[in-house]
Copies of this chain bind each other. A is one copy, B any other.
Amino acid sequence: MDSPLMEIKMMRRTTVILADDHAIVREGLKLLISAMANVSVVAEAADGDRLLNLVRSVTADILILDLGMPGVAAQFISDLHSLAPRMKIVVLTANTEPRMVRAAIEAGASAYLTKDGDPEELADAFAAIRNGDTYLGQTVRFAKSGHVPVTDILSPVPLTPRELQTLQMVAQGMTGRETAQRLGISPLTARKHRENLMRKLNLHSTAELTAYAVRLGMPVG
């Protein structure tokens, strides 16, 4: 525990990249993090593209990422991960939707915090990551009751790629016909994708489907 090696590791400053589209939130987070011992914010980004460029040129120990900022979905985490395998990713977002949490963790995130959680969770998450653990914020952790391994926490019905695409179109206010046109398939097939979606998600109207898609953080037309 107190080996010289550990001490050296503890001594080195932890470097952090901040990615959030809200400048005010970034500014606040910067102050919050600067108050932590041995942690420095080394860079910031306000959208997905600039973040990718940033990660190519700057190395950091931890990325604090707001899922839901322009150009950033859960799958974006995999891209970042393959670009900078040693960088740990802390998701910090307003989205508490179980499917989103699952997608983020599966894509390689090391922590999932929500913005309505206790600010101290940030330090807790950092500590967990230092131990190689995965950390979930309280809001998310207790969505499903009790203390269970991260991987067991939530298992929403998996959606196929086509179903996800269809869901996105619905979120953008597109009709079945428009969806079919965009995907280059028969309206009847688009219809079937939507039907499967509704069965899997137990939703039964366009309005419900749209509302769900928006909760997932999908871009709204």
A residues within 8 Å of B by Cβ? 21-25, 27-29, 31-32, 35, 46, 92, 94, 113, 115-119, 122, 170-175, 203, 205-212, 214-215, 220-221
Query: How many copies of this chain does one complex carry?
Result: 2
Q: Are A207 and B173 in contact (CB under 8 A)?
A: yes
**Interchain CB contact under 8 A, A173 and B122:** no
- Which B residues are CB-close (under 8 A) to A31? 28, 31-32, 35
Known contacts A94-B22, A115-B23, A206-B205: A171-B28 contact under CB 8 Å: no
Structural contact, A208 and B92, CB atoms closer than 8 A: no
7 sampled A-B residue pairs with Cβ under 8 A:
A21-B116, A24-B25, A172-B207, A172-B211, A173-B208, A208-B221, A215-B220
Residues of B within 8 A of A174 (CB): 207
